[in-house]
Amino acid sequence: MTEYQHAATADLPADELFAFLSRPENLPRYFPQMKVAEPRGGESVHVEAEVHGHRVESEAWLHTDAATRSLSWGAEGPDDYHGELRVEDAGPASARITVTLHSVREADGGEVQKGLEQTVAAMTHAATADADVEAAEGQGGWTSYDGRR
């Protein structure tokens, strides 16, 4: 079994970051290969992804623990793929996210580690952008640079 891990900090309170990441329907917003993620009830999630040029459909599971701000997930398949995500406070308005992946598949040239690092960066970017949009909408929307609406 091979393990990959990456951590990063986001300029967003830990509870907000976790709330965004714990919604399965947000998966395609930060996981480039993921095309569909539909909750099916309980911990079951239907997923569709583009993997090496092929469309793959699967039933996955996602366990959410709000008390510890952690997620664990996995999918049936030949690679025994599963992982964990944990969000921790890193200050009053920032959070540290740590993602660990486990697979029997070993990728050449650091492919999985590079993909993990890109996905964690996309997670923090998408969650921060989502919070920025919500804040702007709560204040009446965006204003132009010259002060006109």
The residue among 86, 117, 120, 84 whose CA lies nearest residue 102 is 84
For tokens 């039933």, the residue is 59
15: left (phi over 0), alpha (psi -120 to 50) or beta: alpha
Amino acid letter, residue 135: A
Between 76 and 127, name the one with better pLDDT: 127
pLDDT tens-digit map of 51-107: 888 998 989 999 999 999 999 998 877 667 789 999 999 998 999 999 998 877 666
pTM: 0.79
135/27 Cα distance (integer angstroms): 21
Listed in sequence order, the residues at least 6 apart from 99 whose beta carbon sits closer than 8 Å to its beta carbon are: 5, 6, 7, 83, 84, 85, 116, 119, 120, 123
